[in-house]
Each structure stands twice: as C-alpha cells, then as structure tokens.
Amino acid sequence: MPRSPRIHRYRDGDELVARAANMLLQRLISLQAGGTHVPQLGLSGGRIASQVYAAFAQVAPLTPFDPALLELWWTDERFVPLHDDFRHAGQTLSSLAGALAFDPARTHPMPAADGQVELDQAARVYAQELGDTVFDICMLGMGPDGHVAAIFRDHPSFEPTSQTVIPVRDSPKPPGERLSVSLSVLNRSREVWFVVNGAEKAAAVREALSGNPDVPAARVGGSVRTLWLVDEPAAAELPWHVCDL
C-alpha cells in the first residue's frame, strides 16, 4: 500500500464504533484549534460508518468542536433520487445533523438522480465542486471484496483514470449506478482512516494490509498517515505483532 499503516484492534464492533468516534472528534478539535484552517472531512457510507457518525453526534455537542467550521465531502454515493433512503448523504446527515448545526455552504453532497443531470454529468459537476480539495481526514469502510468508496475489484471503476470523480455503472452491489472519487483523490488525503468490522472482511483486511495490488483498499493511503481501525473478527487473519493495542 502507498504508506505504512498503523493498525488499532478492538474487542468488538461496539468498542470500535466508540473509539473511532472519539478519535475523530479529538482529531477535528485539534485541527480546529489554530483557528485559521477549516478541516476538510471525506465521508463514506455504510452501516459501520453510520454508527460512528451517530456516536460522534452524541458526544460532540459537549466539547469545543464547532460543526460550522468543518467542510463535509462524500467519497461515494448511490445515484438514486435525492430523498431515497439509500443515499449515503441522507444517512450521514440524519446521524449527524440532528445534534450538530453544520454550515449548508460547507456541506457538499454528491448530485442525486433527480432528472436534472445524468450520471456522467453528475460526476463532472462534483469534480468541479471538489476541485483540488485535500481531505484532512478521509473516512473509509471496506467491503468483503476489498472495495473502497465505489471502486471495485475486477471492475472498470478500478482502472486508471485522470478523472477525480468517476461515474460507476454495473456496480457489483446495488444500485447499479454510483459516483465515486478516484484513487488519486483518496491518496492525496492527509490522513486515511479505514473503519472495518466483521469476520466476513477478515480475508480482505489481510489482503489489503499485505499489499495485494488487486485489492482496491491496498492502493489507498494518506500522505501523512493511514489508520486501520478494526474489530477482532475483522483482524482475525492478521498476526498480533502488526496490531497496536
């Protein structure tokens, strides 16, 4: 993988969620502390991510964290109508925005399939909005096949591209149409945090951390640091000496 990762192993999914949420909160507070930089946060979708965001929203209001001084971006999106329950942005904001007042001007969901733009145009629109933004922290999950964002193994989404946002068709997971930032955008992130749980992902975790180039997750790392936050079932195929307790 592009940079040497640091691996944190937790007893179960509940501990993983709580620790990931607290780590994210403390890191964002640290980034905001100087008062001159608005942190850029890349968000992923998925069940474990939604749980982390919900836990974050529970504890953040009691701290110096300022939600108005944070730029929210998405790494991928299901290309479905705006109010579809499948949209990552809707799921994320329902977890976060009930307790935290984010600035709408600093909240950047990907376009929806609302009939105004088709998939390729939607990718171009988001690429223009994203520009040369560098995520201070990019939160990522990983599928059992090793996919990240909407970049899938043995799929055109994994092919080299000069685009920063790609249209994804015939996705191995429904829905078939998606949007995703490219590997180049993920890899220009200062910090990449993988949050992965479940025994069904243990083989993919091992492959990614062994640097298998056929696994999308193995091709992603932050320019400053890469963290893998995993529960024991997801880390089951890793030797203990590569994990930080």
Q: What is the pLDDT of residue 162?
A: 97
Q: What is the pLDDT of residue 98?
A: 81
Q: What is the pLDDT of residue 239?
A: 86
pLDDT at 232 over 90: yes
Calculate the alpha carbon distances from 155 to 16, 73, 87, 142, 173 in Å.
30, 24, 22, 16, 12
Higher-pLDDT residue of 197 and 2 is 197
Of 76, 86, 223, 206, the C-alpha closest to 151 is: 76
Q: What is the mean pLDDT of residues 226-243?
A: 88
Instruction: Tokens 């946002």: give the residue.
Output: 165
Q: What is the pLDDT of residue 4?
A: 84
pLDDT at 221 over 90: yes
Which tokens is 64 given? 């110096």
Determine if the pTM surpasses 0.85: yes
Looking only at the bridges linking them, the beta strands covering 137-140 and 40-43 are: parallel
Compute the distance between CA of residue 168 and CA of residue 176 in angstroms, rounded to an integer. Answer: 8
Compute the distance between CA of residue 54 and CA of residue 94 in angstroms, rounded to an integer. Answer: 9
For residue 78, give the 3-state DSSP assignment.
strand
pLDDT per residue as tens digits for the range 53-70: 999 999 999 999 999 999
Phi-psi sector, 115: left (phi>0), alpha (psi -120 to 50), beta: left
Domain range 20-31+39-102+112-229, CATH architecture: 3-Layer(aba) Sandwich (3.40)
Band of residue 245 on the pLDDT scale cut at 50, 70, 90: very low
Calculate the alpha carbon distances from 77 to 1, 113, 149, 221 in Å.
24, 11, 8, 20
| C-alpha 193 chain-centroid distance | 8
pLDDT per residue as tens digits for the range 139-196: 999 999 999 999 999 999 999 999 999 999 999 999 999 999 999 999 999 999 999 9
User: 47-59 and 88-96 helices cross at what angle (nearest 10)?
Assistant: 20
Q: What is the pLDDT of residue 243?
A: 52
Contact between 71 and 36 (Cβ < 8 Å): no
- Percentages helix, strand, coil for the chain (3-state, rounded to 5) are 35, 20, 45
| Strand (E) or helix (H) holding 191 | strand 191-196
pLDDT per residue as tens digits for the range 2-57: 458 999 999 999 999 999 999 999 999 999 998 889 999 999 999 999 999 999 99
AA identity, residue 169: R
Q: What is the mean pLDDT of residues 129-142?
A: 99
